[in-house]
């Protein structure tokens, strides 16, 4: 009997070992996914996208062995709406979130939800950005993920080293994540949007210190028998631009930063009054275009925040290597939208011009490294969810409107789409200056059409030939030579706005 018992024990042990081995093999077969999204970073602010001044060696490493999309765009250039489009793979027209106060419709139908249902260990770090002040909602969201390192409101750059947000382990106490930092000079405290580090005794910077620390927490606590999907939503380079880390505070001093030709007073003055008076432009945009010294200083702040992102990226890559998951972790780097730097007399984002909608996008798969490929196909943020599900070999739901980008990894010229819809329907306030002009449009490979849907008359529509006018300085909407093209693309806009609901 004793011998029989030993045989049974060995058999059971062998079976357990086989099951564990199969589980580990399955986890190894499925890639880990790391999705990193900057906030307000425009396309031309990386070394690998051609910036002559800004050095981003860690992000550039991804592009050197992956594919960089030269024509990647946000379909709605505003934080909250764009983030829901990423989560759902849908245009705002379908997912229905157009402001800061509406919740993600169904977390279970987002890419982290679907991945979790299919055996992935999921985590989120950084700015969540929807219904950002709702405590009850954030309790549910933080509980939804296996690991939570997210924050409410707009997130903050500076924290006490021992604040509750920093110390939270992301798992057993993940619903008790709210920051309890002291008030800033204006009286904002904790999770409220703070400026500077006044009253913080032992300050640490979110991008350079806190996020890498939380990535380390995630990798240390994850279920190693499961593949993981970690989504990181950075604060940078969103304002306040002066809240960069000490490590980058001397960068770009005395350096002349590149300014686009569309930072032009005449061009700014020729814009419709309803745009010149829209949110932020009277206070900052018109000043930036008229004051080169002010513009250069603001750009230095903005660039320093992006340099801080690259430091953060270097620490994250080191953590992946230390935990021996670097060779099976696919990394996507992008931004929720871009940002004006005085072009056309504008500041902020929101409008459908290239500076606001054109974003960096890099896809790196260490299992199939390639040699610095560039795809000129039209890639969108609504493609992020389908791409991640495709990586995990999960069928993409029919209600997702984006497309997987995996074919572009092996063939950057693989056709993706010829055009896409753009929309921004959040008006912010009813009257200037607390107002954003609502707009919709279509961008093709060559042309862009914009319709200011609450306006009428000749200035309510714009048409740009991006091949001959990449700076969007010459509106052709009223030019009889382009009537055929105008009718064609405006008809496409009317069709899209109905079909994409």
CB 304 within 8 A of CB 248: yes
What was the pLDDT predicted at 280? 64
SS3 of 440, please? strand
DSSP string, 487-501: HHHHHHHHHHHHHT-
CB 55 within 8 A of CB 334: no
Between CA 187 and CA 280 the distance in angstroms is 23
β-strand partners of 121 = 228
340: left (phi over 0), alpha (psi -120 to 50) or beta: beta
Strand residue runs (E) in 274-324: none
Between CA 31 and CA 66 the distance in angstroms is 15
Between CA 124 and CA 214 the distance in angstroms is 10
CB 300 within 8 A of CB 253: yes
CATH number of 32-245+269-418: 3.40.720.10
Orientation angle between helical segments 79-88 and 384-391, nearest 10 degrees: 30
Residue in 377, 428, 472 with CA at minimum distance from that of residue 99: 428
CB 126 within 8 A of CB 233: yes
Between CA 378 and CA 416 the distance in angstroms is 7
> What's the length of the chain?
501
β-strand partners of 150 = 126
Strands 203-205, 158-160: pairing is antiparallel
Q: What's the topology of domain 438-501?
A: Arylsulfatase, C-terminal domain (3.30.1120)
Strand residue runs (E) in 365-418: 373-380
CB 64 within 8 A of CB 329: no
DSSP state of 397: P
What was the pLDDT predicted at 13? 45
Please give the angle made by the CA atoms of 236, 123 and 68, to the nearest 5 degrees: 55
Please give the angle made by the CA atoms of 261, 471 and 479, to the nearest 5 degrees: 120
Cα 366 off chain centre by? 22
What was the pLDDT predicted at 431? 82
- Helix, strand, coil distribution of the chain in percent, nearest 5: 40, 15, 45
DSSP string, 316-348: HHHHHHHTT-GGGEEEEEEES---EESGGG-EE
What count of other Cβ atoms lies within 10 Å of the Cβ of residue 14?
10
Residue spans per domain, the chain:
1-30, 32-245+269-418, 438-501
One digit per residue, the tens of pLDDT, for the chain of length 501 reads: 444 444 444 444 444 444 444 445 544 589 999 999 999 999 999 999 999 999 999 999 999 999 999 999 999 999 999 999 999 999 999 999 999 999 998 999 999 999 999 999 999 999 999 998 999 999 999 999 999 999 999 999 999 999 999 999 999 999 999 999 999 999 999 999 999 999 999 999 999 999 999 999 999 999 999 999 999 999 999 999 999 999 999 999 999 999 999 999 999 999 999 998 887 677 788 899 999 999 999 999 999 999 999 999 999 999 999 999 999 999 999 999 999 999 999 999 999 999 999 999 999 999 998 889 999 999 999 999 999 999 999 999 999 999 999 999 999 999 999 999 999 999 988 887 788 999 999 999 999 999 999 999 999 999 999 999 999 999 999 999 999 999 999 999 999 999 999
Residue in 478, 474, 457, 458 with CA at minimum distance from that of residue 466: 474
What count of other Cβ atoms lies within 10 Å of the Cβ of residue 272?
17
CB 122 within 8 A of CB 229: yes
Cα dist from 32 to 29, 115, 242, 320, 477, whole Å:
9, 11, 35, 11, 47
């Amino acid at each position: 009997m004793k011998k029989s018992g030993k045989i049974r024990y060995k058999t059971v042990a062998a079976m357990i070992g086989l099951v564990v081995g199969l589980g580990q093999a399955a986890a190894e077969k499925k890639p880990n996914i790391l999705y990193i999204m900057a906030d307000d970073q425009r396309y031309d602010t990386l070394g690998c996208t051609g910036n002559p001044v800004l050095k981003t060696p860690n992000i550039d490493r991804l592009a050197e062995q992956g594919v960089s999309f030269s024509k990647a765009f946000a379909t709605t250039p505003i934080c909250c709406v764009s983030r829901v489009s990423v989560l759902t793979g849908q245009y705002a027209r379908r997912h229905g979130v157009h402001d800061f106060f509406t919740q993600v419709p169904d977390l279970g139908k987002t890419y982290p939800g679907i991945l979790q249902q299919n055996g992935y260990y999921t985590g989120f770090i950084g700015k969540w950005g929807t219904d950002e002040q709702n405590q009850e909602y954030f309790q549910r969201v933080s509980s939804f993920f296996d690991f939570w390192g997210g924050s409410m409101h707009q997130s903050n750059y500076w924290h006490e080293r021992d604040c509750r947000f920093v110390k939270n382990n992301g798992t057993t106490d993940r619903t008790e994540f709210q920051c309890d930092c002291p008030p800033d000079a204006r009286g904002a405290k904790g999770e409220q949007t703070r400026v500077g580090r006044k009253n913080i005794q032992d300050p640490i910077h979110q991008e350079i210190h806190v996020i890498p620390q939380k990535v380390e927490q995630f990798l240390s606590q994850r279920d190693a028998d499961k593949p993981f999907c970690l989504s990181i939503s950075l604060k940078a380079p969103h304002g306040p631009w002066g809240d960069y880390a000490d490590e980058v505070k001397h960068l770009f001093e005395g350096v002349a930063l590149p300014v686009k030709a569309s930072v032009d007073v005449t061009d700014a003055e020729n814009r419709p009054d309803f745009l010149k008076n829209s949110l932020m432009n009277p206070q900052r945009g018109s000043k930036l275009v008229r004051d080169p010294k002010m513009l250069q200083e603001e750009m230095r702040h903005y660039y320093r925040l992006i340099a801080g992102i690259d430091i953060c990226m270097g620490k994250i890559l080191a953590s992946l290597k230390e935990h021996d998951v670097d060779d099976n972790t696919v990394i996507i780097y992008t931004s929720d939208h871009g940002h004006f730097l005085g072009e056309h007399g504008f500041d902020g984002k929101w409008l459908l011009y290239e500076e606001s909608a054109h974003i960096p996008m890099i896809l790196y798969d260490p299992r199939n490294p390639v040699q610095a490929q560039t795809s000129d196909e039209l890639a969108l943020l609504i493609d992020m969810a389908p791409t991640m599900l495709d990586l995990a070999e999960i069928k993409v739901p029919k209600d997702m409107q984006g497309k997987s980008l995996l074919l572009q990894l092996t063939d950057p010229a693989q056709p993706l789409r010829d055009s896409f819809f753009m929309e921004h329907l959040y008006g912010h306030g009813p009257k200037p200056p607390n107002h954003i002009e609502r707009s919709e449009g279509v961008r093709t490979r060559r042309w862009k059409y914009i319709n200011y849907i609450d306006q009428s008359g000749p200035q309510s529509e714009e048409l740009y030939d991006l091949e001959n006018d990449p700076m969007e300085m010459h509106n052709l909407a009223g030019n009889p030579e382009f009537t055929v093209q105008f009718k064609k693309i405006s008809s496409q806009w009317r069709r899209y706005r109905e079909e994409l609901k």
